[in-house]
Copies of this chain bind each other. A is one copy, B any other.
Amino acid sequence: MELGIGMFGDNHYNDKGQPLPAGERLRELIEEIKLMDEVGIDFFGIGEHHRPDYAVSVPEIVLAAAATVTKRIKLGSAVTVLSSSDPVRIYQAFAMVDQISNGRAEIMAGRGSFIESFPLYGYDLKDYNALFEEKLNLLLKINEEDPITWKGRFRPALENQHVLPRPKNGKLPIWIAVGGTPQSVERAGRLGLPVMFAIIGGNPAQFRPLFEYYRALYKDAGHDMSKFEVGVHMHSFFGEDSKATADAYFPVYAAQMNRVGRDRGWPQFTRQQYEYGRGPNGAY
Which positions in A face B, CB cutoff 8 Å?
Answer: 21-23, 26-27, 30, 50-52, 54-58, 60-62, 64-69, 86, 88-89, 92-93, 95-100, 102-103, 119-123, 155-159, 161-166, 168
Contacts and interface: CB of A to CB of B under 8 A. Distances in A.
A18 B65 CA distance: 29
Contact of A122 (B30, B102, B156): B156
Oligomeric state, in copies: 2
Contacts of A68: 30, 65-66, 68-69
Contacts of A164: 22, 50-52, 54, 57
Nearest to A123: B156
Given A26-B96, A58-B92, 12 more contacts: A21-B168, A22-B95, A22-B165, A50-B162, A51-B162, A52-B164, A56-B165, A58-B93, A62-B100, A64-B64, A88-B120, A88-B121
Given A68-B66, A120-B161, A121-B86, A61 B27 contact: no
A149 to B, nearest CB: 11
Contact of A162 (B52, B86, B102, B159): B52
A70 B77 CA distance: 24
A168 B56 CA distance: 14
A214 B103 CA distance: 46
Contacts of A57: 92, 96, 164-165
B27 A100 contact: yes
Contact of A55 (B50, B120, B122, B165): B165
A249 B123 CA distance: 49
For the complex of A and B, the 9 pairs showing the least CB-CB separation, nearest first, are A122-B156, A23-B99, A22-B165, A64-B64, A61-B96, A57-B92, A64-B65, A61-B64, A22-B99
Contact of A26 (B27, B56, B61, B100): B100
Given A30-B100, A69-B68, A100-B30, A168 B119 contact: no
A58 B58 CA distance: 12
11 contacts: A22-B99, A30-B100, A51-B164, A65-B97, A65-B100, A66-B68, A68-B69, A86-B89, A86-B121, A88-B120, A122-B156
A155 B26 contact: no
A96 B59 CA distance: 10
Nearest to A166: B22
Nearest to A70: B68
A162 B53 CA distance: 12
Given A96-B22, A99-B22, A120 B163 contact: yes
A131 to B, nearest CB: 13
